[in-house]
Every structure is written in structure tokens, then in C-alpha cells.
Structure 1
Amino acid sequence: MANWAVIGSVILPNTGGWLNGLYFAGQVRKDNEKSWYDDLKKPSWTPPKWVFGPAWTVLYSGMGYASYLVYEECGGFTEEAILPLSLYGGQLLLNWAWTPIFFGLKDFKLAFIEIAVLSGAAVATTASFMQVNKTAGSLLLPYLAWLAYASSLSFYIWKNNPKIEDKKQ
């Protein structure tokens, strides 16, 4: 028998990521031609574009399952669950906001500031989850590591690329 709370908890964070990915995919990948993203100065340790989709799917799934564990441990949306699940929801919204800032606005400075704020929110969420359920908190550790890596990429791109004005492509 399916546990719909688990399934929903895992699908929720992925939905925002998938929608962002679908909407902004044309910004990164064009058929038989380079996009503005390809022309950016990126560090040598930038992963291939195909890595991002699977990596985020795994990270979002872990985050979602962690939120389910907190929900279950607290007995649902109880007073005990308010802080950890509110922090989770807030950092999830911040997470989803980065892609439109970077790929939509092409504002690399704002994208770096945003991911720095997101990272702080994710650390607070992880600490809050750890207090409720150690497994839930531990499931967010790969996410924190990826955010540190993504933040370094975002910083490098901001510092090494002039602001891209909206170009007709």
C-alpha cells in the first residue's frame, strides 16, 4: 500500500525544480547552437550540464523524505513541527527562486546573494531537523555540501562575467 504522505513529500520539492528546469532549459540548451550560458566564463570544476538534473532530483528527494520524517516524528502539523517545517518551506522557496534570478534575470550578483541567504536557511533547517530526527537532519547534509559547491560556482560566475543584458536570441 502506497504511503501518499511520503510520495507527496518527495514529489513536492522536485516539482518546483522540474518546472524551473523545463521553463529555463531553453536558456541553457539550444539545438545546434550555443546559448549565452555556454559563453560564460566558468571554472574548470564546473560539472557538465547533464549532471544538474539528476543531482537535484536526488537532493530534492532526500529533502522531501527528510521533511516527511519530521512531519511523522512531530505527529503531523503540530506546534512542534511549526519551526522545522516552516524553515524547510522557506528554504525551499529560496531554492526555487535562484533559477529565475540566474537564468531569467541573468543577475549573477543577486543570484550569489540569494544562494548565500538560501545556504543560511538550509543550515537552519538542517539544525532544526536534527533536533527532531537525526536521520532527517542527516539527509540534508548532501544538500548543504551541494549548496556550498553551487555557491562557489555562482560566486565565480558573478566575479568573472560582466552582467548580461537581455539579448534577443
Structure 2
Amino acid sequence: MNKYVKIIIAVAICLTVGYLSSTVTQASIQTWYPTIVKPSFNPPNWIFAPVWTLLYILMGIAAGLVWDKLESDKELVKKGLFFFAVQLALNALWSYLFFGLHNLLLSSLEIILLLLIIYETFLIFKKVDKKISFLLIPYMLWVSFASVLTITIYFLNR
């Protein structure tokens, strides 16, 4: 399988996870989410879909490029893709905890774990190929911001 097919598969997986997460989000965005207190730095709702779409594409490209390095460093690539899969699952879980269950405490704790796993994925990808790891930096920055936002929302709504 060539590099571009791997990238397409990885991007499709990331976008699918994003889409499935958005189905949980959409139900609450019109009902529950407007009723909670949010900080002044909370972005407008319309910004989330394009930002997440771009992030899922960048994540998928990074994963596909790392996957393409499987023959050159099998153990490290497998480890990197394992951590990538874990962070992707945690990414989806956050939407369920926050928007599905409306559990602000659990989603605050979970997003910290998510950020740590993203960082570990970044470090492993960096060992595979430094340039590839740069594709995860916007994701780490956004989830860092989302962590602050989630935790702030928790404290504002206790």
C-alpha cells in the first residue's frame, strides 16, 4: 500500500471519529449547552466544526505518514500508532462525557488525560520523523485551550 493510500485511510478514520463525536455534540448544542455558564473567552459555536475538521485532517496526515515508516522502524511506529489510536478514542470519549452525559467534572479530568496522551503521541512521532510530529502541534494547542475552557466551565457551573 502506498503512502497516499495510508494517508487517505488515516484521514478518513479521523474524520469518521470526528463525525461520530459531532452526533453527540449536536444534540446538546441546541438544548443543554446554551444553558450553562461559559467564560468570556469561549469561542462562538460556528468556529468548532471548521477547526476540528482541519485538526482531524492534520492528525490523519501525520498518522498516515508515520504508518508509512513502518518498515524502517516497526516497533516505534507501532507504539506511535497505538498511542495515536488511544488519543483518538479519548478524543471521542470527551464529547460523550461533556455533551452526552453533561458531566463537567469527568470531562475536565478526561481532557487532561487526553492532552497527556496527545503529548506522548507527539514525542513518539517526533522520534519517527520530526517534521511529521509538527502536524500534531495545532492539535495539542487546541486541546490545551479546550482543557482550560472545559475546566473553567466546570468551575463556573459547580
Aligned equivalent of 1:22:
23
Larger gyration radius, structure 1 or structure 2: 1
Runs of at least 5 residues in structure 1 that lack an aligned partner in the other structure: 30-34, 163-169
Instruction: With a CA cutoff of 8 Å and minimum separation of 6, indicate the structure with the bigger relative contact order.
Output: 2
**In the alignment, which of 129, 134, 138 is matched to residue 133 of structure 1?**
129
Q: Which residues in structure 2 correspond to 1:71-86 (within 5 Å)?
A: 71-75=67-71, 78-86=74-82
Structure 2 length-normalised TM: 0.93
In the alignment, is the contact (CA less than 8 A) between 1:123 and 1:144 conserved in 2? Answer: yes
* Distance in 1 separating the partners of 2:119 and 2:73: 21
Identity, % of aligned positions: 34
Aligned equivalent of 1:63:
59
In the alignment, is the contact (CA less than 8 A) between 2:24 and 2:95 conserved in 1? Answer: no
2:100 matches 1:99 = no
Aligned equivalent of 1:3:
4
Q: CA deviation at 1:154?
A: 0.2
Q: CA deviation at 1:97?
A: 0.4
In the alignment, is the contact (CA less than 8 A) between 2:123 and 2:133 conserved in 1? Answer: yes
Aligned residues: 156
1:90-123: CA deviations, max 9, x gaps? 1111111000000111110000000000000000
Runs of at least 5 residues in structure 2 that lack an aligned partner in the other structure: none
Greater shift after overlay, 89-98 or 79-88? 79-88
Secondary structure of the 2:68 match is helix
Secondary structure of the 1:140 match is helix
* Distance in 2 separating the partners of 1:91 and 1:68: 15
In the alignment, is the contact (CA less than 8 A) between 2:6 and 2:68 conserved in 1? Answer: no
In the alignment, is the contact (CA less than 8 A) between 2:107 and 2:150 conserved in 1? Answer: yes
